[in-house]
Amino acid sequence: MSDDVGRRAFLGVGAGAVAARALAAEAPAPAKGVKIIGVACSPRKGKTTAAAVQAVLDAAKAASPAVEVELIELADMNINGAVAAGVPLPAGQEDDFLKLVPKLSDPRVGGIIVGSPVYFGSMSALCKAFLDRWVAFRKANFPLSNKVAGVVAVGGMRNGGQELTVQCIQAALMCHEMLVVGDGRPTAHRGATVWNQGDDITKDELGLSTAKNLGRRVAEVALRMAGIAG
Ligand SMILES: Cc1cc2nc3c(=O)[nH]c(=O)nc-3n(C[C@H](O)[C@H](O)[C@H](O)COP(=O)(O)O)c2cc1C
């Protein structure tokens, strides 16, 4: 994809068909395996949300040698949510969202984990800005369609709003025809709900079990979608 086409498509400029053609042209041949990307949407780098997303990814990787994982942290990135509504960035400026587009829409990516801290009962502003920018994917012929999605939320209280946060994020992911899954058995509910106790999630056995079951479940469905035995 030329820089110009990519930029225009993902800024929402130009027809969706142009963006779709650009994506198709750059699609590499599918490899024998699936990649699962985890995105930690906390403004604090390397803290509990990143640790929880990593726990989900570790479980996904442990599910099969055909699974490759990558953690992306949005901390330190500049993602301007207003661009989603058509408000242009100041002339000559670019934010970091465009860098993430090829990674997320890569056809080898079979699953995406989104992790957010709980901020007053919902996702962080950074997470919302990031997900709002996904409007670009709708304009570009839904490249995330049929990728598996899993969500993890980390709060400072055991029941501080993790479930609602998970569900708010899941609602956004469904707008992209993603296959949203919850944590698998035996916990088997909406996703991973983790409790941060003093910037540490390792004492939260229950929360970590939901993270583990989520990772395994995302891998299982992503492998099945790719036609690979788990
Ligand atoms: C503005 C703000 C609001 C918060 N609101 C909640 C909340 O409603 N419920 C909760 O359990 N924790 C809440 N917390 C705590 C964070 O969710 C918790 O510390 C989380 O682990 C932070 O993630 P991080 O370590 O990746 O930054 C809040 C923290 C901040 C900064």
Grade residue 22 by pLDDT with cuts at 50, 70 and 90.
Answer: very low
- Rounded to an integer, the average pLDDT of 13-40 is 61
Distance 142 CA to ligand 1 centre (A): 32
Residue identifier of the C-alpha nearest atom 29 of ligand 1: 119
pLDDT at 23: 52
Residue identifier of the C-alpha nearest atom 2 of ligand 1: 119
Cα–Cα dist 162/211, whole Å? 12
pLDDT at 28: 53
- Token pair 């992306």 is found at 72
Asked if residue 122 lies in contact with residue 161, where contact means CB atoms within 8 angstroms, the answer is yes
Distance 113 CA to ligand 1 centre (A): 19
Residue identifier of the C-alpha nearest atom 27 of ligand 1: 44
- Which ligand 1 atom is nearest residue 199's CA? 25
Distance 110 CA to ligand 1 centre (A): 29
Distance 156 CA to ligand 1 centre (A): 5
Report how far apart, in Å, the C-alpha atoms of 204 and of each of 100, 114, 201, 218 are. Answer: 31, 19, 5, 21
- Rounded to an integer, the average pLDDT of 201-206 is 98
pLDDT-wise least confident of 12-21, 35-44, 219-228: 12-21
Grade residue 30 by pLDDT with cuts at 50, 70 and 90.
Answer: very low
- Token pair 């980390």 is found at 154
The DSSP letter of residue 119 is B
What's the start-to-end Cα distance of the chain, in Å?
33
Cα–Cα dist 121/130, whole Å? 18
- Rounded to an integer, the average pLDDT of 148-170 is 98
Identity of the residue numbered 138: R
Share the mean pLDDT of the chain: 90
Asked whether residue 9 carries a pLDDT value surpassing 70, the answer given is no
pLDDT at 17: 38
Distance 39 CA to ligand 1 centre (A): 17
Distance 130 CA to ligand 1 centre (A): 18
Q: Tell me which of 44, 71, 74, 120 to substitute to probe ligand 1's pocket, judged by most ligand atoms within 8 Å of the beta carbon.
A: 120
Residue identifier of the C-alpha nearest atom 19 of ligand 1: 156
- Report which of 160, 61, 53, 64 is spatially closest to residue 114, judged by C-alpha positions: 53
Grade residue 229 by pLDDT with cuts at 50, 70 and 90.
Answer: confident
- Rounded to an integer, the average pLDDT of 23-30 is 49
The pLDDT tens digits of the residues spanning 78-109 come to 999 999 999 999 999 999 999 999 999 999 99
Grade residue 230 by pLDDT with cuts at 50, 70 and 90.
Answer: low
The pLDDT tens digits of the residues spanning 113-147 come to 999 999 999 999 999 999 999 999 999 999 999 99
Report how far apart, in Å, the C-alpha atoms of 214 and of each of 139, 185, 224 are. Answer: 29, 9, 15
- Which ligand 1 atom is nearest residue 201's CA? 21
- Rounded to an integer, the average pLDDT of 203-230 is 96
Grade residue 31 by pLDDT with cuts at 50, 70 and 90.
Answer: low
**Any residues with Cβ below 6 Å from ligand 1, and which?**
42, 44, 47-49, 117-121, 154-157, 160-161, 196
Helix (H, G, I), strand (E, B), or coil: what is residue 112? strand
Distance 153 CA to ligand 1 centre (A): 10
